[in-house]
Amino acid sequence: MVTYRRKMTRKRVVINKRILALATIILMALPACCHCRYCISYEDFLEGRWEPIDTIVVKKQGKGNYTLTTGNKALDKTLNKEAFIVMQADTMYLNCCNLRYENTCFPSGFTRAMRIGERSLLFVNRKIGREVQDRVLTAAVVFGALGAAISAGSLSKQQVCYLISWGANKKGLISIRMIDDALIDQMIAGRDDLHDEYYAEENTNKRLFASHIIPILEKAGLFNQVRR
């Protein structure tokens, strides 16, 4: 009889542990769903006016680019055509469809973004703009289509930092800035140590790479100034 009771007690312990483990998994999964939300505009984002979403499926499509789906066609259309930014748990995905840099647009989809300071968003993506277009065009003239393709491929690997500090214009387009020497000088003003670290990289192009800039901005504490 004692042996039987011990076996039953062990079974109950095992069952209770399984129930506890299952409950833990469920509780861990719930916040991810509960924290899915989106903002239609930059102004909504600043004011914290979020719209909730039951769930989001995120798929990586390339370096720095993602697609987001919900299983609801109408909501997917809203996210891809109208939403400014989407959040899943603590990760923000910025809609690229209306972003413009030097009249050059980004490919469709989303890119990860971080809030920096009180009013800005920073994201990392490939280098675009007039300089890139000019270099590809020159390569096409000199080396033909193959040369242009090689040049474009090389430039696409250069990840730089972009900043959004204002909303869309009357046409619904959002102008962005690439973080360059002049902007860095403003962002780390008064920090001679970081100024020296930034300009220690003498190559102008490499100095603008996100891998060089992000650590400096982190040391400046700019990502810690965010209001929660």
Question: Per the structure, how many domains does the chain have?
Answer: 2
By residue range, what is the domain housing residue 204?
179-228
Instruction: Flag whether 17 is in a domain.
Output: yes
Say if pTM beats, i.e. exceeds, 0.85.
no
Per-residue pLDDT band for 1 (boundaries 50, 70, 90) equals low
Condensed to tens digits (0 to 9), the pLDDT of residues 146-202 reads: 333 333 344 445 789 999 999 999 888 898 899 999 999 999 999 999 999 999 999
Mean pLDDT of the residues in the chain: 77
Distances (CA, A) of 9 to 19, 20, 23, 180: 15, 16, 21, 67
Rounded CA-CA distance 92/95 in Å is 10
Q: How many CA atoms lie within 13 A of 85 on its CB side?
A: 27
Amino acid at 208: L
Instruction: Flag whether 83 is in a domain.
Output: no
pLDDT attached to residue 146: 38
Q: Which two tokens stand for residue 45?
A: 């984002």
Condensed to tens digits (0 to 9), the pLDDT of residues 32-89 reads: 444 899 999 999 999 999 999 999 999 998 777 899 999 999 999 999 999 999 999 9
pLDDT attached to residue 6: 54
**Greater pLDDT, 105 or 217:** 217
